Amino acid sequence: MKRRSLIIALLIVFIDQISKLTIDNSFLLGETFPVVKNFFYITKVYNVGASWSMFSGFVNMLIVISLASFVCFVYYQDMFKINFRNILAFGLIYGGLFGNLIDRLDRGAVIDFLHLKFGTYDFPIFNVADMCLVFGFILLVISLWKGDDKNGPRSRRRKSYR
């Protein structure tokens, strides 16, 4: 299962890094391009923090947290049943972690560029790695809720479909 998740992670990292490289070479810092007016924009920013710019300026701490998180998730993955949802969840999480980690190690900041607006609300700008982390965690929560972890309360009552 780990090998499959790592293959997904490599694909995610590739897509994430290509998209960031394209934006970095095509846009000036702060430049905005409307894709769907009043809803979806491409806006190039550098984020020196984590989500919503939390922990701005603590790049070294975020690097350590990313590496520690990866080690914990690799260990934790063995506690889940082998199925597509779990393989995808961990692959998305690994890809998201490493996509942003590469930016932090390379330039001390993460390139964010996906910008959504809902009426007067300006959603914080994010990137492909961020999306993968969010979707990976959602899938992991669904797996926990469904009892796909090997020691979960519902896992003993379900038949294995392997």
Residues carrying an active site annotation? 112, 130
Amino acid at 157: R
Residue-wise DSSP of 65-95: HHHHHHHHHHHHHTTB--SHHHHHHHHHHHH
Tokens encoding 24: 């970095």
Biggest alpha carbon–alpha carbon distance for the chain: 56
Q: Which amino acid is at 122?
A: D
Contact 16, 128 (CB under 8 A): yes
State the Cα–Cα distance between residues 90 and 51, nearest whole angstrom: 19
Angle, CA 121 vertex, CA 19 and CA 39 arms, to 5°: 50
Q: Is 20 helix (H, G, I), strand (E, B) or coil?
A: helix
